[in-house]
Amino acid sequence: MKKKLCVFLVCAVLSACTLTGCGHNASGGSEKDRPIKIGVLYSLSGVTSVSEKQLYDGTKMAIQKINENGGIHGRKIETVFADYASDPAKAADKARKLILDEKVTAIIGTCSSSARKAVKPVVESYHSLLIYPQSYEGQEQSKNIIYVGCIPNQQAEIFVKWLLKNVGKKFFLIGCDFVYPQVENKLAKEYLAAGGGSVVGEEYVPYGSTDFSSVLNKIKSSNPDIVYSELTGDSNVAFYKQYHAYGLKATIASLTTNETVLKSIGADAGKNSFICVDYFKNVENPINQTFVKKYAETIKDGTVPTYAAMGGYNGGLFLGEALRKAKDPENTQQVAEAFRELQIDSPSGKISIDGKNNHTRLYCRIGKVDEKGEIHVIFTSEKPIDPKP
């Protein structure tokens, strides 16, 4: 009897909780003030979480800025966050839930190419929209994805030309073993062939591997001028540290390193290396100076804005503009069309979306790391470069 009473009470409490939970969806407010739902899909755990936290911080700041400045014609943007824990299969699953259950207008998110490629068929089959904020290897287009990060013709092509002119001709290519470094290295070989450089070695390490002893030996014996790297995450950090411990002399040129990585490896290991991306914290213009200050006030975890944070931020700003431009900001189709030739004043410059291929015209910047671990911007392209995916 007592046991049955307990069971009944537990069931009663659980049903009460569920019913009150359901009640939230029926909250009041007129149609005009109803917030616009946007999905935010990043990993805050797992191997890619370092980069994704930066993307997430940038996106968060952009949405906050939009909401503080009056939202979308008075309506606030409400973000629905989903964490896919660095697992591409989970990313697809969470994207589906965001589109079907939460009925978001668009999703900002994903980081690695594997995750994006898993989410691509989901947004395409459900006619939704993904804003992809990270730089990647190009060679992809979709009506349902807006690519806000830089691609090889805006990054690698210019970088290789610059390195050939200013540093040396013999390249050793290195990356983790997945699609992004493999495609980048393939393209690097083409650019080198066209520019009179040569490839003295090409190595891929298992994703997440932190043991570079055999690779470092190969680098030593092939004697390159430049070590051209697309290593990411823990592998990237371990590589710089071990490279420095082995006292190798060739210049490291990276497509992926950023201010956070430099802090992890210490000033000695990063000294005199080069990085090519579309944004550095030390970019000098008034909008960026305000942004860096606001970042320090909002994101209080001791990090500084990197190109990943800028990607997340630009993605959020573009989305805000598109939502404002569209007649019905909850109509994904109209919002997608509103992205065409959209221009924003970003801390990384005046950038715009190329309507032909849904990619972004971005500045290309090359930075050199000094002995204190700070990045000096030593090259900026004259104007934003048209993307050619």
Partner 1 sequence: MDSVLALLLNGLNSSALILMAALGMVIICGLMGVINLAHGELIMVGAYTAYCATQLLGLNFAAAMALAFAAAALAGILMEVLVVRRLAGRPAETMLATFGISVLLQQLVNIIFGAQSQYVAIPIKGNFSIGKVVVPYYNIFTVCFVAAVMAGTVLLMKKTKFGRRVRAITQNRDMAECLGIDSARVDTVTFAFGSGLAGLAGALAAPVKSVSPFMGGPYLVNSFMTSVVGGIASFFGTAVGSLMVGESTALLGGVSNDVTANILVFLMIIAVIRFKPEGLFAKERR
Strands 226-229 and 170-176: parallel
Contact 212, 242 (CB under 8 A): yes
Contact 320, 342 (CB under 8 A): no
Asked if residue 220 binds partner 1 (CB under 8 A), the reply is: yes
Structure tokens at 232: 């990411």
Other C-beta atoms closer than 10 Å to the C-beta of 87 total: 18
Asked if residue 215 binds partner 1 (CB under 8 A), the reply is: yes
The CB-of-112 to partner 1 minimum distance in angstroms stands at 14
The CB-of-349 to partner 1 minimum distance in angstroms stands at 26
Q: E strands, 130-283, where?
A: 130-132, 145-147, 170-176, 198-205, 226-229, 251-254, 274-277
The CB-of-347 to partner 1 minimum distance in angstroms stands at 21
Contact 200, 222 (CB under 8 A): yes
Give the residue, chosen from 64, 242, 357, 380, that forms a contact with partner 1 under the rule CB under 8 A.
242
DSSP string, 153-171: GGTHHHHHHHHHHHT-SEE
Enclosing H/E stretch for 98: helix 88-100
Quick one: 237 or 385, whose CB is closer to partner 1? 237
Contact 53, 299 (CB under 8 A): no
Quick one: 264 or 333, whose CB is closer to partner 1? 264
Q: Within positions 6 to 65, which residues make up the interface with partner 1, using CB under 8 A?
A: 44-47, 49-50, 53
Question: How large is the angle between the packed helices 156-166 and 179-195, nearest 10 degrees?
Answer: 50
Whole-angstrom distance, CA of residue 359 vs CA of residue 287: 23
Contact 56, 45 (CB under 8 A): no
Please identify, among the stretches 4-12, 88-96, 145-153, 246-254, the one whose residues bind partner 1 according to the rule CB under 8 A. 246-254
Give the residue, chosen from 70, 121, 266, 355, that forms a contact with partner 1 under the rule CB under 8 A.
266
Contact 282, 366 (CB under 8 A): no
Quick one: 203 or 321, whose CB is closer to partner 1? 203
Asked if residue 189 binds partner 1 (CB under 8 A), the reply is: no
The CB-of-204 to partner 1 minimum distance in angstroms stands at 6
Give the residue, chosen from 200, 205, 226, 253, that forms a contact with partner 1 under the rule CB under 8 A.
205
Q: Within positions 273 to 312, which residues make up the interface with partner 1, using CB under 8 A?
A: 301-303
Beta bridge partners of 266: none
Asked if residue 333 binds partner 1 (CB under 8 A), the reply is: no
Quick one: 176 or 364, whose CB is closer to partner 1? 176
Q: Which DSSP state fits 32?
A: G
The CB-of-216 to partner 1 minimum distance in angstroms stands at 8
Please identify, among the stretches 20-28, 161-169, 199-207, 311-319, the one whose residues bind partner 1 according to the rule CB under 8 A. 199-207
User: Applying CB under 8 A, what is the total number of residues that bind partner 1?
Assistant: 45
Intra-chain end-to-end CA distance of the chain, in Å = 71
Give the residue, chosen from 261, 276, 310, 344, that forms a contact with partner 1 under the rule CB under 8 A.
261
The CB-of-246 to partner 1 minimum distance in angstroms stands at 5
Binding site residues, partner 1, CB under 8 A: 44-47, 49-50, 53, 177, 203-206, 208-211, 213-218, 220-221, 233-235, 237-238, 241-242, 245-248, 260-261, 263-266, 268, 301-303
